Amino acid sequence: MKKLLLFIIATVSFISAQNNMRRMSADLNCSTCHSCENPTKSNPCLKECLRHEIITVHNSPSDGPENIILNFIKTKNDLFKPVNFSHKVHSEMAEMSGGCTTCHHYNPPGDILSCRECHENDRARKDISKPDLKGAYHQQCLNCHRELELNTECESCHAYNSQVSLKSKADAQKTFKPTGSHKTVTRPAVLTYKSSYQKGSVVTFHHKDHIDLFGLNCTQCHTSQNCGDCHTAKSLKEAKPVAVNKNSDHALCKDCHDVKGNSCNKCHAENVKPGFEHKRSTGFDVSRFHGDLRCTQCHTKGFKGLDPNCFSCHQGWTPETFRHGKTGLILDEIHVELDCENCHKELNFRIKPDCSDCHDDKSFPEFLPGKKGTIK
């Protein structure tokens, strides 16, 4: 019996050790944390904190705790009650920028460490290379709170302890309550930039087209955006325009546009350039029937132009399946029965239909083979 028990314990501990090992990512080795070759318990020779090469693994906000009561610092006469930190809400906000790393900086791969595992609780300490726990909390929180709220009063996060006699301070715990979803952002249509390029100092950026026509997502250009980038401390409701990081030339454009060679004048001009118009550029008007399409639906990889014949794409069309009313003309009972080719000669839908097969005295559009409808 004892042997069996021992065997079970050994197996369980082996499996858990294996799991622990698996949690560690492959790029973690002794030298990630230790500066010497043979660290011992008495001399672990740990590298100085703010270990840049060690960053946290990314977890989803739902993996972490919902709320944390920060009651790890206690003194004799605490002016305030412990802070109830809404961890989940904050991690959701961090999703917009740095993720977990925003707060859990320098966290080795594996378990997410809490602040107090690195930051000492004692201010009078030997190692001053990182702030103590109280300092760490405040520095971390205030970095964003100062940026977003001009009001950095203690009561924004803390409730006063009732034992402390106060003049007119409300003894109410304030917790952050998110108010639903973010307000829809007003998107600019056209933006113009000045550049130092002499042959064309104006760069017109058709912002709306890049989203609606070219199908880019906000985050493809607006990377690592912070709440404070738009919201000033004085007003959370009014936001200033989102700026993109334009530090490096062409960095944002070069993923899609050729920024080398002789293609400068595609974006750079002396005056504001008009936006992209399919009809002007290619001769094919997409606005009437193909307006809902995204460029990439036709322009797949290796696209070399389309056959102007409708049937090259719309293969299943027959007089029975084609709803002619969509073109703005609802055919009457007689004409709806006809083959396409009876009116549209050689199935060329670009030229006007020919009535001469049946009618000598009628022509399009003076006489309509049905009634007008609305183009859908």
Residues binding another protein (CB under 8 A) = 50, 52, 79, 123-124, 128-129, 131-132, 134-136, 138-139, 142, 146-147, 150, 152-154, 166-167, 169, 228, 232-234
CB of 68 to another protein, least distance (A): 18
Burial class (CB in 10 A: 0-12, 13-18, 19+), 81: middle
Rounded distance between C-alpha atoms, residue 127 and residue 105, angstroms: 18
CB of 152 to another protein, least distance (A): 5
Choose between 236 and 306: whose C-beta lies nearer to another protein.
236
CB of 231 to another protein, least distance (A): 10
Phi/psi of residue 301, nearest 5 degrees: -60, 135
The residue whose two tokens read 């009732």 is 162
Choose between 53 and 258: whose C-beta lies nearer to another protein.
53
What 8-state DSSP symbol labels residue 184? P
CB of 153 to another protein, least distance (A): 6
Which residues, at least 6 apart from 155, have a Cβ–Cβ distance to it below 8 Å? 169, 170, 174
Choose between 52 and 260: whose C-beta lies nearer to another protein.
52
Choose between 160 and 205: whose C-beta lies nearer to another protein.
160
Choose between 107 and 205: whose C-beta lies nearer to another protein.
107
Which residues, at least 6 apart from 213, have a Cβ–Cβ distance to it below 8 Å? 276, 294, 295
Rounded distance between C-alpha atoms, residue 115 and residue 103, angstroms: 9
CB of 131 to another protein, least distance (A): 4
Burial class (CB in 10 A: 0-12, 13-18, 19+), 350: exposed
Choose between 169 and 324: whose C-beta lies nearer to another protein.
169
CB of 299 to another protein, least distance (A): 40
For the chain, the 3-state helix, strand and coil shares in percent, each to the nearest 5, are: 30, 5, 65
